Amino acid sequence: CLGAACADAVFVSVVDETEEPFLAAPFDGILGLSLPAMAESGAMSLFGGLLASGAVGERTFSFFIGDQGEDSELVLGTPVEKHMAGSPVFVEVDPTGGYWQVPLDQIVVDGTSYTLPDSRAVFDSGSALIGGPLDVMTSIASQIGLKRDCSNAEELPTLGFVIGGHTFSIAPAEYVAWEGSRCSLLLHAVRLPGPPRIILGHLFLNKYYVSFHLGEETARVGIAVAAHAPAVTTV
The one-digit pLDDT tens for each residue of the chain (235 residues) are: 777 777 777 777 778 878 776 777 776 667 778 787 776 665 667 777 777 777 787 889 999 999 988 999 989 889 999 999 999 999 999 988 889 999 999 999 988 899 988 999 999 988 889 999 999 999 999 999 999 999 999 999 999 999 999 999 999 999 999 999 999 999 999 988 888 999 999 999 999 999 999 988 889 999 999 999 886 555 5
How far apart are the C-alpha atoms of 199 and 124, rounded to whole Å? 7
161-186 burial: b if 16+ Cβ within 10 Å, else e: bbbbeeebebebeebbeeeeeebebb
How far apart are the C-alpha atoms of 118 and 3, rounded to whole Å? 39
How far CA 2 is from CA of 19, 49, 50, in Å, comes to 28, 12, 9
* DSSP designation for 203: H
**pTM (predicted TM-score):** 0.87
